[in-house]
Amino acid sequence: MFTRREMLLAAAAPALLAKKAGFKIGVTDWNLQLSGKVDAVALASKLGFEGVEVSLGRKPVDGKLPLDNAELHAQYLAAAKQHNIRLAGTCLDILHVNYLKNDKLGQKWIADGISITKKLNARVMLMPFFGKGAMETPQEMDYVADVLKELAPEAEKAGIMLGLEDTISAADNVRIMERVKSKALLVYYDVGNSTNNGFDVVREIRWLGAKRICQIHLKDKGYLGEGAIDFERVIRTIDDSGYKGFANFETSSPSKNIEGDMKRNLAFVRKVMASAG
């Protein structure tokens, strides 16, 4: 547990504490219950985060992604500037509906998502592979790799990293990357998903290293540091790897008080980061 003073200090000086550990802390807009809403930017800043990950939406509007809108782009950029916070990246949520492994629409959404991510001045686009869209066989992994090989040059040109977030091992992700042969394709490492799928998170992060990870999700069942994952060890491992990007909270709200629970998790992580530095 943390005192009120510790929590206030953690929220008030994020940049100073983060500098000690080297990487930055962001939060997903969907875990703020503001998926695809500009208001997430102000709230993330208020809570003390350095960045916010933006959902590009699951339901098309007139054949386009919900955030494929110049007016919305301007609002996001203005909010980020006003609140002095980064748009840490985007999530191509629609791949939960149009699976890249067997739906041609998935390819279109990736191309559209790259363009939107660039317009938001974000650098990373998460590509999720879960549920019926999960890659389960070597053939599915090869198919996804070959699709991404066609799309990767566009991402390279735009300066956007495509992040693989999925249920497979770090080794299988790297095999996909090696088949694609593009500097624009890296692993989006989720410590909660990897733990739930039976992988050794610390070992995988060490093996991948900073050069093969474009972004990270931090989550566990319940509060960080109080569940099954040894977050003190995980955070130190991320720091030791030399990773400098964003580690984004994708945390639930056990008490149903989103702001209070986010502050509690943030206080814990900042405290560990400070000691890791």
Give me the mean pLDDT over the 78-104 stretch: 98
Q: What percent of the chain has pLDDT over 70?
A: 92
Q: pLDDT digit string (tens) for 18-60?
A: 445 589 999 999 999 999 999 999 999 999 999 999 999 999 9
Q: How far apart are CA 160 and CA 89, in angstroms?
A: 9
Nearest to 124 by CA among 73, 179, 177, 189: 189
Nearest to 121 by CA among 166, 167, 88, 79: 88
Helix (H) or strand (E) segment spanning residue 28: strand 24-28
Q: Mark 133-167 as b/e (b = at least 16 C-beta within 10 Å).
A: bebeeeebbeebbebbeebbeebbebebbbbbbbb
45, 83 contact by CB (below 8 A): yes
Q: pLDDT digit string (tens) for 132-174?
A: 999 999 999 999 999 999 999 999 999 999 999 999 999 999 9
Q: Cα 39 vs. chain centroid, distance in angstroms?
A: 19
DSSP-derived pairing of the beta strands 86-91 and 213-218: unpaired
Give me the mean pLDDT over the 251-270 stretch: 97
122, 248 contact by CB (below 8 A): no
Query: In 10 A of CB 214, how many CB atoms?
Result: 26
Average pLDDT, the chain: 93
Residue 266 has pLDDT above 80, yes or no: yes
26, 50 contact by CB (below 8 A): yes
Name the pLDDT band for 7 (thresholds 50, 70, 90): low
- Tokens 């814990």 belong to which residue? 268
Strands (E), 65-152: 86-91, 124-128
Does pTM surpass 0.85?
Answer: yes
- Structural domains present in the chain: 4-276 (3.20.20.150)
- Residue 16's pLDDT is 44
